[in-house]
């Protein structure tokens, strides 16, 4: 059985890997006294050789026997579950489809969030996990007519995934974690050719090998978790009323998103996420007497591992965006981590603190108070990315009379409100706003004397289906222009950034320089938290008067001359259509190409392993293309609706629900009013996508009132209605709903890969790709009818 072979191979590799990770700590326990480095490495090598030999011996001696036992256990469990399903009334079967579909999308989103909280890599490559889930579900649906059912393996595999990744994150030696925390995202380097030299490229690959091993292993684990669930859902959907089954699937998907949406409202974390998922899987495992014991043990493992305080001195809070970790430093003040990485600290920089003018606080005071010292007036101030309150406290110390503190993450805001030593959020002059910076400026009618952007650079992606970061639209040309328009005459705009390259600074400087009514911008090197942290400032209808005495006292350096003579011609400035501020120019970054190559190769290997000899079915090709197009249009909808209503977690959640509702209503319409002619649906789809492309090329229609916004929503989600309608009409003509779902999900993987074209050509280009793909759908819809030859069980 292919599933068992892959799972056993993965288990052996994981066992070997864990031995390599944990043996150094075991040696330190066995040999507690100090030993010489040479002796240590000799002992370590002996242990490694012995461990690998034992694993090899086990694999040779017991693997075949273990595989046979597992195969027999799966077949016996499958017979009992199949018998239970066959005697289940149709209504109960439809209910089971809803529940399993809800579990599918819920678990998919949970795995994305949880894995991103363990390793920074997955916070930047979120759609890596998403595409792995699509691959697993697609293969599972394709196996819906194959014996045996694998549903009883999903829960143990989920427990194994949690166990392995938890051990890797919390039990591995420090030097291993440091390797795994290396993120191979070199967005400033073009594909292969722009690396400095061949040796540099080779060294990068060597350093990134552990990370790519982690990616490969996690991809396979995710596939093995979702594949049995997809197969079971496909098996439940096999009946003579495919549109009802598909409608139940869509309804369940909507409920799955809503469930996670509700849990996010209350900052609920993995113990509840996986507790719910494991309980549902256990319920559908209970009909098998053979699987109950393993199921109960797996549920216990899932709950215990996610509930156990693995870092007792760290408070973990799962905000709607990320894992926020609060720790207390030796000085008694709070420090905030995001998924294990440093995020921000709080400081007591009050005038009562006699150490504020001495190192190391001296430069920190300079960084936070500089924009307010350079402002001509501080009657009304807006702070973007107010965080835990350091910028707000600085504004209060500088005499600001009214402050709007804008922070997108409610957890960070609340931690600052409760733990900042100067208690800036308790001051009556401060108005706290939990919102996206762009949305704040679009909704407010206030004008400000100073607008200050803190260091908001984020590594959190907007959603599971987009490669746009949480802060991407803040630093676009349009985003900073919107802020500048809210300045009073003589007002100051300040943008601070921890620069990883000079080109990033040149982008900010040029955007500020080219603003209408802007004076000459200034750049001040502050060195806060990073040697290259720089504050860029510009005034409206006035020139900046730098507080030179203040700068000299607090060690700040004027570096404006670095940027005045820079060659801006080679820069691609970020825009709302191409919001990739961290990239020097429009290109395919090499790091993403490597990850895409991994996804493609792994998918091909797994498809061939689990579906040997399978041939493309012409009648199901339209479902493949519909999946690709759906993914592209969903990405575009998330991006533009985020711009329209705010890039906040609830807007993104509502957008995903709206996308699924469009498909659900299309299915409902198709069920009630059968349509034979598809031409009008395809024509409507092509026209509405074309209209969306033309409008996006003109910069969108975001600033023209409620009616225009409503029209934008229709324009962005309309294609998903017509594609859903086409899907439902085609589905009514085939007798293999599971096969159609399989093709659709594998096609969605292609759409996820094609989304990366936005990094080269911008998001509007996705419309053109979608037009081409839907054109292929139209053509393939009128090919020679064909269905899977496998009979219904």
Q: What is the pTM of this model?
A: 0.91
How many residues are listed for the chain in this entry?
793
Token pair belonging to 625: 């293309």
Give the domains, in start order, of the chain with CATH numbers. 88-312+585-780 (1.20.1250), 345-459+477-570 (3.40.50.150)
Mean pLDDT of 192-198: 39
Sign for the pseudo-dihedral over CA of 600, 605, 606, 608: positive
Rounded to whole angstroms, the Cα distance separating 16 from 38 reads: 23
Please give the pLDDT value at position 786: 39
Of the listed ranges 69-73, 479-483, 693-697, the one predicted with least confidence: 693-697
Is the model's pLDDT at 762 over the cut of 60?
Answer: yes
Q: Are the CB atoms for 561 and 521 separated by under 8 Å?
A: no
Greatest pairwise CA separation for the chain in angstroms? 84
Q: Are the CB atoms for 692 and 767 separated by under 8 Å?
A: yes
Of the listed ranges 36-50, 245-259, 270-284, 544-558, the one predicted with least confidence: 36-50
Is the model's pLDDT at 199 over the cut of 60?
Answer: no
Please give the pLDDT value at position 639: 86
Binned at pLDDT 50, 70 and 90, residue 614 comes out as confident
Q: What percent of the chain has pLDDT over 70?
A: 89
Q: Tell me the pLDDT tens digit for each residue of 638-679.
A: 888 888 888 888 888 998 999 999 999 999 999 888 877 789
Mean pLDDT of 300-307: 96
Closest to 492 (Cα-Cα) out of 537, 456, 444, 461: 537
Is the model's pLDDT at 402 over the cut of 80?
Answer: yes
Rounded to whole angstroms, the Cα distance separating 420 from 388 reads: 7
Is the model's pLDDT at 783 over the cut of 90?
Answer: no
Please give the pLDDT value at position 65: 82
Q: Tell me the pLDDT tens digit for each residue of 617-633.
A: 888 999 999 999 999 99
Rounded to whole angstroms, the Cα distance separating 168 from 214 reads: 10
Binned at pLDDT 50, 70 and 90, residue 186 comes out as low
Mean pLDDT of 35-44: 68
Q: Tell me the pLDDT tens digit for each residue of 476-496.
A: 999 999 999 999 999 999 999
Q: Are the CB atoms for 135 and 749 separated by under 8 Å?
A: yes
Using only the alpha carbons of the chain, give its radius of gyration: 28
Please give the pLDDT value at position 32: 60
Is the model's pLDDT at 685 over the cut of 90?
Answer: yes
Token pair belonging to 545: 């008067």
Average pLDDT of the chain to the nearest whole number: 87
Q: Tell me the pLDDT tens digit for each residue of 90-119.
A: 999 999 999 999 999 999 999 999 999 998
Q: Tell me the pLDDT tens digit for each residue of 491-513.
A: 999 999 988 888 899 999 999 99
Is the model's pLDDT at 377 over the cut of 90?
Answer: yes
Is the model's pLDDT at 784 over the cut of 50?
Answer: no
Rounded to whole angstroms, the Cα distance separating 288 from 80 reads: 5
Please give the pLDDT value at position 205: 62
Please give the pLDDT value at position 735: 85
């Amino acid at each position: 059985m292919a599933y068992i072979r892959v799972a056993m191979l993965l288990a052996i590799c994981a066992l070997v890997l864990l031995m390599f990770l944990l043996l150094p700590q075991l040696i330190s326990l066995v040999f507690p006294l100090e030993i010489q480095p040479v002796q240590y490495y000799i002992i370590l090598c002996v242990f490694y050789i012995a461990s690998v030999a034992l694993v090899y011996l086990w694999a040779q001696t017991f693997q075949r026997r273990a595989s046979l036992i597992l195969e027999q256990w799966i077949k016996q469990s499958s017979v009992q579950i199949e018998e239970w399903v066959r005697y289940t009334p149709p209504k109960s079967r439809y209910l089971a489809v809803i529940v399993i579909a809800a579990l599918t999308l819920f678990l998919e989103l949970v795995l994305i969030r949880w894995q991103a909280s363990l390793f920074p890599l997955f916070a930047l490559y979120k759609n890596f996990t998403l595409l792995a889930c699509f691959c697993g579900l697609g293969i599972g649906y394709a196996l819906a007519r194959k014996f045996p059912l694998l549903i009883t393996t999903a829960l143990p595999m989920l427990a194994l995934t949690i166990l392995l990744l938890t051990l890797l994150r919390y039990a591995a030696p420090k030097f291993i974690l440091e390797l795994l925390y290396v993120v191979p995202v070199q967005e400033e380097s073009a594909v292969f050719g722009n690396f400095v030299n061949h040796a540099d490229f080779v060294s990068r690959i060597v350093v990134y090998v552990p990370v790519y091993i982690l990616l490969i292993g996690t991809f396979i684990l995710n596939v093995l978790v979702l594949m049995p669930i997809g197969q079971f859902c496909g098996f439940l959907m096999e009946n003579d009323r495919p549109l009802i089954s598909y409608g139940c699937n869509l309804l369940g998907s909507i409920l799955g998103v809503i469930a996670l949406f509700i849990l996010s409202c209350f900052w609920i974390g993995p113990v509840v996420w996986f507790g719910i998922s494991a309980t549902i899987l256990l319920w559908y495992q209970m009909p098998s007497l053979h699987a109950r014991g393993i199921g109960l043990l797996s549920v216990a493992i899932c709950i215990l591992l996610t509930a156990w305080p693995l870092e007792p001195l760290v408070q973990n809070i799962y905000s709607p965006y990320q894992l926020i970790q609060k720790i207390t430093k030796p000085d008694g003040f709070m420090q905030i981590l995001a998924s294990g990485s440093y995020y921000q600290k709080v400081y007591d920089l009050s005038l009562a603190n006699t150490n504020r003018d001495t190192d190391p606080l001296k430069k920190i005071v300079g960084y936070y108070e500089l924009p307010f010292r350079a402002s001509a007036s501080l009657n009304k101030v807006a702070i973007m990315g107010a965080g835990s309150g350091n910028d707000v406290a600085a504004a209060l110390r500088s005499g600001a009379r009214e402050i709007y503190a804008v922070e997108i993450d409610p957890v960070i805001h609340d931690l600052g409100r409760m733990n900042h030593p100067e208690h800036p959020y308790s001051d009556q002059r401060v108005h706290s706003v939990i919102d996206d910076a762009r949305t704040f400026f679009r909704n407010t009618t206030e004008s400000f004397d100073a607008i200050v952007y803190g260091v908001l650079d984020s590594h959190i992606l907007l959603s599971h289906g987009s490669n746009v970061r949480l802060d991407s639209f803040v630093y676009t040309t349009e985003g900073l222009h919107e802020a500048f328009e809210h300045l009073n005459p003589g007002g100051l705009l300040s943008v601070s950034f921890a620069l990883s390259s000079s080109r990033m600074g040149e982008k900010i400087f040029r955007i500020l320089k080219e603003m209408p009514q802007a004076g000459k911008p200034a750049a001040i090197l502050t060195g806060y938290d990073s040697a290259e942290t720089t504050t860029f400032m510009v005034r409206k209808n006035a020139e900046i008067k730098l507080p030179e005495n203040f700068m000299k006292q607090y060690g700040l350096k004027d570096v404006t001359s670095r940027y005045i003579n820079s060659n801006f011609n080679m820069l691609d400035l970020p825009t709302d259509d191409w919001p990739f501020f961290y990239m020097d120019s429009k290109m395919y970054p090499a790091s993403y190409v490597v990850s895409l190559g991994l996804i493609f190769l792994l998918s091909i290997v797994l498809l061939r392993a689990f579906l040997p000899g399978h041939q493309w079915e012409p009648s199901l090709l339209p479902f493949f293309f519909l999946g690709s197009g759906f993914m592209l249009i969903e990405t575009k909808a998330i991006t533009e609706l985020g711009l329209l209503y705010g890039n906040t977690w609830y807007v993104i959640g509502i957008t995903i629900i709206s996308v699924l509702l469009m498909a659900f209503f299309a299915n409902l319409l198709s069920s009630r009013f059968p349509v034979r002619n598809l031409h009008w649906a395809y024509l409507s789809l092509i026209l509405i996508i074309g209209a969306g492309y033309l409008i996006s090329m003109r910069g969108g229609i975001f600033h023209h009132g409620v009616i225009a916004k409503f029209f934008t929503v229709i324009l962005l989600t309309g294609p998903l209605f017509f594609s859903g309608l086409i899907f439902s009409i085609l589905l009514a003509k085939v007798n293999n709903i599971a096969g159609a779902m399989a093709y659709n999900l594998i096609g969605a993987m292609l759409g996820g890969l094609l989304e990366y074209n936005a990094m080269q050509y911008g998001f509007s280009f996705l419309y053109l790709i979608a037009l081409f793909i839907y054109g292929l759908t139209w053509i393939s819809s009128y090919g020679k009818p064909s269905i899977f030859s496998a009979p219904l069980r």
